[in-house]
Amino acid sequence: MEHSRQTEFTSNDGKDTRDTTLVVNGHFDGVVKKPSAALQSPATESGSHRSAASVSESWKEEHARSVEDNEVSLPSLAAAYTTILRGLGEDPHRQGLAKTPWRAATAMQFFTKGYQETIIDVLNDAIFDEDHDEMVIVKDIDVFSMCEHHLVPIIGKVHIGYLPNKRVLGLSKLARIVEIYSRRLQVQERLTKQIAVAITEALHPTGVGVIMEATHMCMVMRGVQKMNSKTITSTMLGVFREDPKTRDEFLTLVRS
């Protein structure tokens, strides 16, 4: 069962000795493609086995279509930014703004590239059978997203923990999952849950915990203008939700 809520980093001092893998300052180190559908094995399609070469060719075709779609949409995005500049009372043809619509359109495509990416591409060949059932944590993953209400940045960090069920995920892939969902128009509550659900569907672990803490420019630059405000959200699934001792261990290690 999925669960998402606001939380503070508080912990009971219940001791549960576990061997724990910690990775600090995880960073995204790659690019993937197209939006995700249901997570399923890329080797299975309509009940028949697909070869690795067939799957690879399919991904290449999807990537080519994605690049083509971006190239087609770029002029219309640039035209929209030209309209915005005129609406602000600016002259879009003056020297300082002459190339701004094109630059802004290219930047917006990058900020929202998660729509062109898929979890299947990221996880290909990165799930390993491993006799390990102790907590794995990757903390301080930098996250940059865009508020879907005001189209201004959300900047923060994500902390992920999971209890493997005889299968583990390549550590950098956790950061890439964060990148896929953060590079879309978002609200923080949904982003936190999407990350946790994607890991659950990919690995079927005993439990998953995701915590995100972020600053929203819609609160800092406009509106209430609270410079130091932070929003903290969490999603706890499986044993992370059901067992207070496991949840407390996760919260303690994230805070440490």
Structure tokens at 73: 């949409």
Give the phi and the psi of residue 100 in degrees, each rounded to 5. -60, -45
Separation of alpha carbons 64 and 250, rounded Å: 41
Q: Residue 146, exposed/middle/buried by CB under 10 A (0-12, 13-18, 19+)?
A: buried
Separation of alpha carbons 169 and 189, rounded Å: 24
Q: Which of 176, 134, 186, 125 is nearest to 155 (CA)?
A: 186
Could you give the residue numbers annotated as active site? 147-150, 188, 216, 218
For the chain, the residue count is: 256
> Are 215 and 170 within 8 A, CB to CB?
no
